[in-house]
Structure 1
Amino acid sequence: MSYNLFEVYGIELEYMIVNSATYKVNHIVDKLFIKKSGSITSDVENGKIEWSNELVAHVVELKTNGPTADLETLDVLFAENVREMNRLLKDFDSELLPTAAHPLMNPEREMQLWQHSYSKIYALYNRIFDCRGHGWSNVQSMHINLPFSGDAQFEKLHAAVRILLPIIPGLSASSPIFEGKITGFKDTRMHVYKTNQKEIPEMTGKVIPEQLFSKQEYHTGIFEPINKAIRPHDTENILDHHFLNSRGAIARFDRGAIEIRVIDIQECPKADVAIAVLIIEALKLLVSEELVTLEDQKQWHENDIFEIFNAVIKDAEQTLVESEKFAAIFDLKAPVSVKQIWEKIYSLVKENISEKHQESIEFLLQNGSLSTRILNALGEDPSEENLLKIYKELGQCLQENRMFLSNKTVKTN
């Protein structure tokens, strides 16, 4: 079934499982699923939410069980499923950990692939790319799936998504620490994402998708080069180009949707869904051409957008955008901070957002990305002891669906 623009949404959230005492990753997604459903499976339907496995055995995904039009109570649904998972994981002395990256994990030593359904595909990925890197086994994100019907809607949505992609990490960055060290990137997940498939560069491209605005153009410009590049490696022909395409937003013509993948997971579903709502409203604004015409949106080359994106993954909301042309889209003057761009967007769409989500968005705009708040909490002490203290608090935020602020948290209803 095809849906029109902004008629329904699909949201996916990824979490890692850690030992509750040591906070080391625990490869027991299969045991969690057996505990829940009685058998080893790759998917567990739990009412309106579905649980799924991922490439590695310590990461579990929660997603809407099919498209949904209801974003108002979605964070509550996700939070209920988080709490249920945590109850089941108690038997294994384990729990879910939020944020886009474990601050202490060493993937060289600790990575384990999922060993059940689809394991043949994951093994092939591992053979081609060596999945022991952070870019494969220490990255958790939120994906937003947005529908389109036909080429005319795809053109509008793809043009708008490309424009918005570079500033999304300014809202969502939550991965400032790898292996106990401050990396210098607030969105280190996206920094490693850029190169984790360097063996076959056709798969990720420049992260920002190319100027392709029809199904035929997309097949010729993206899918065909990917299929050609993977053929020598995929001798059994088991990989699908829809999954191989790893740009920051990918077209899923098989289900009539564009999937946005540059969003780090937050400390709780309340924050995730609020970010999703703001991104969706920003895209509606761009699609309406109220800010800039479709033709002008289509003129942006991926290299120019990538330049902005590359700066934003380093400094998130504090990034200064020097491009006059990009600032002008939002009727602002360069240099302008990404925070100011999001504040402007929010002022234009606020009336379309419920009070509940407004509160979360205003908290984010006021206090900064989760990476900024984690770094503020760390202060001058990036010791393992302090890191564990902060990330255990983040685990509590996930359990209670509340937002994190430095060494204290803000309670929300």
Structure 2
Amino acid sequence: MTRPDSSAKPERNPKDESSGVETRRAALAMLESVLRRGDTLDVAQNTACKKLTRSDDAAFALAIVAETLRNLGGLDELLDGAMKKPLADHARPRFVLRLMLAQSLILGTPAHAVIATGLPLLAGGPRRLAHGVFSAIDKQRTALENESLLPDPPWLPPEVQERWQQAWGDDMTVKARKGFAKAPPIDLTVRDADKTDMLAEKLGAISMAARHLRLAEGVRLSDDPDFNAGDYWVQNLAASLPARLLGEGEGRTVLDLCAAPGGKTMQLAAQDWNVTALDSSKKRLKRLQENLDRTGLKADIVTTDLRVWEAPTASDAILLDAPCTATGTYRRNPDVLYRIGENEIQKLTSLQRTLLDRAAKWVKPGGQLVYAVCSLEPEEGEEQVQYFLEKHSNFTLKELPANALPQGIAADDNGCLRILPGMMEDQGGLDGFFVASFQRSE
């Protein structure tokens, strides 16, 4: 199932009560899947929304859950303040009330619709309690008129706040909270550079780098003939930077490791690289092939486990966008902040080191290895660079070409690229990201 845009905040009245209840039931299943089992919101949505026949119902369910996760700390504080005895963290009434309050306080759903579609989720449970708690908080909302009951900007989960504060300082966490308030704008990568201006005018977009477009808030892409013709694809500007740093390929060879669903593969092909794209997921590689077919770009696709695969020949360049915690995408995927902890960071750090060690063997002398993660954890970025250089003396950090970077983004003192919350904030910001470029000497 294609994931609807979680930034959407539709104000809609259910066609009838049963339809509205089923939408909320799907939202409840998604929220429980994320917070109880640690599933990604994508996985949770694929399962929870199977019974919903309309895409707008699925989009609304996702919007409810996304806003609940963005504002979870504030919602829980409201709930705890409205009850003499707080509900257990994983009690179903707490989950239902979180969703009900998110609709009322954030999405603007009328209170009567929230009650009519929320209380049926507590069949056999404490409906009267839930009704009373919701009504009490709704009265506070009405009394305050336009003043929000929720903290602005939203709180980060305490363990995330502490972890990022230790790594990056107070200023970063303040900006991270501000970034958590809403989903980021939609970025596009344009296949043919000479079409950028035409597409920008048509879509009302701005361009912040070569082959890049950023849509205005509220603009939605639906059945655009230029998209169907393969003129562009959706890709956050930060995620496009690793391929940009490799520049024009001029027919040289590159391995795109962990390539699916294919944004960087398409970039490299459009930049005239001879691309081999590798990934372990057949399903995701099928989507990559569909993207290549749509854009008319070419790449060789290999389904394999990189931990055992061996390259038949060395390549001029390698792009390793490694499996990571993806905490840098928290604005788009608020669930990530509730699923990722120290154990997950350690497991992924170990895998990244394995993949870096293997990739180092597949680079030609004089060739380039670009390592990237969409993570805000230094263990996955800066510490991996230190590890790699200590173990591989035949590699050095390569200076990043300034002309490949958007204005306002520059390499750090070590020559790497670290994107944190708050960067390019006036233009809508970027995903958190880390990129390092290594060159092999022999």
TM-score category by the smaller chain? under 0.3
Using CA pairs under 8 Å that are at least 6 residues apart, name the structure with larger relative contact order, 1 or 2: 1
Structure showing greater Rg: 2
TM-score scaled by length of structure 2: 0.23
TM-score using structure 1 length: 0.24
